[in-house]
Structure 1
């Protein structure tokens, strides 16, 4: 199988497309859409919205060469039983800051609840909707590996390389990449397919810090353009071999 050679930092990386998957982290209405949890809390979602277009291109290209797409969604049971025990930081922060579980009327007019499974808020944003054959998994903590089927799903499919997209860079994306590193997956984070509102206006944002950590320790960083060029070269190489 012809390798995908992706221009990246700290150096280009060659991956086997039959052992790769695109990971889409938390690109759901509560984080990236007007009227969602972040927007209602006064958090700037413009960066997350800018990441949608490049991510859509990456997903389309991956599907074209049969690289699987795995979606992660942050969402809790309606009784909040999986939010954490009384006093757990995950429970306290989500209740105090974001009002998880509170009822709301979604922009489409439906009755919804903040960050609750199978409601408008936990639906993937319109331009990135999953298709038949994609994997969609709920998670209840920042890492996509914590008490989920993600590790088993990836290993059963023979996946070793993760093309990582989603939000937010320094929280759920970085947490998932760290856990993937501990499990010996190779992660390539596409920097224009992720965003971070925390410290966005600081001299060095949390987004920038996370990119540096990934480059130095936890994997590789690249861009959607470099990924698309690698896919194009891969397809062209297959056509030439077939001639």
Structure 2
């Protein structure tokens, strides 16, 4: 996949839909009845990059203060949704040690991996940072996870929603009607190539999480230092 083209196409299509009022408002983000839970392998960027993201978010907040903004604690890149969030998932019903062992097996041969957060893209439900890898290692890890979990008898739902191939990070979700839509779109266009920085990936986290990876719901299952 050509990530540059993919992100650009996604941005153009999404901005066009947002412009024509065809965007999605997340009605569950403030709900106390949202019990969708799952297990995810993820990467967290370092603090200095997350602080640059917050500086960018601050400018969006001034335009659209009523949207949902990711705090530093929740910013992440999804490596793989091992069990995609669903209503009623109970972590006590699975053998966590087997999940840890199988994930570790897929990471043990990891090569150096650097991710550059460069520029923004969008969906019809929010704003994302574009992530670029300097080699194919991340997708090779994903392929190993697919193979190992699909050959196991463990509960999993890899690629159930879509086959993940990017390294993006969601930073804003629409939870209210956009009050200054034109001003927001102008800001996004002006900052489409915003540089957030590059970092080396040395840790992966296996977590029990809600749909939005909110700190108050996330429980770390295991941290893999590579």
Question: Normalising by the residue count of structure 2, what TM-score does the alignment of the two structures yield?
Answer: 0.26
Kindly indicate which of the two structures has a greater share of residues assigned to strand. 2
Question: Normalising by the residue count of structure 1, what TM-score does the alignment of the two structures yield?
Answer: 0.24
Asked which structure has the greater RCO (Cα within 8 Å, sep 6+), the reply is: 2
Kindly indicate which of the two structures has a greater share of residues assigned to helix. 1
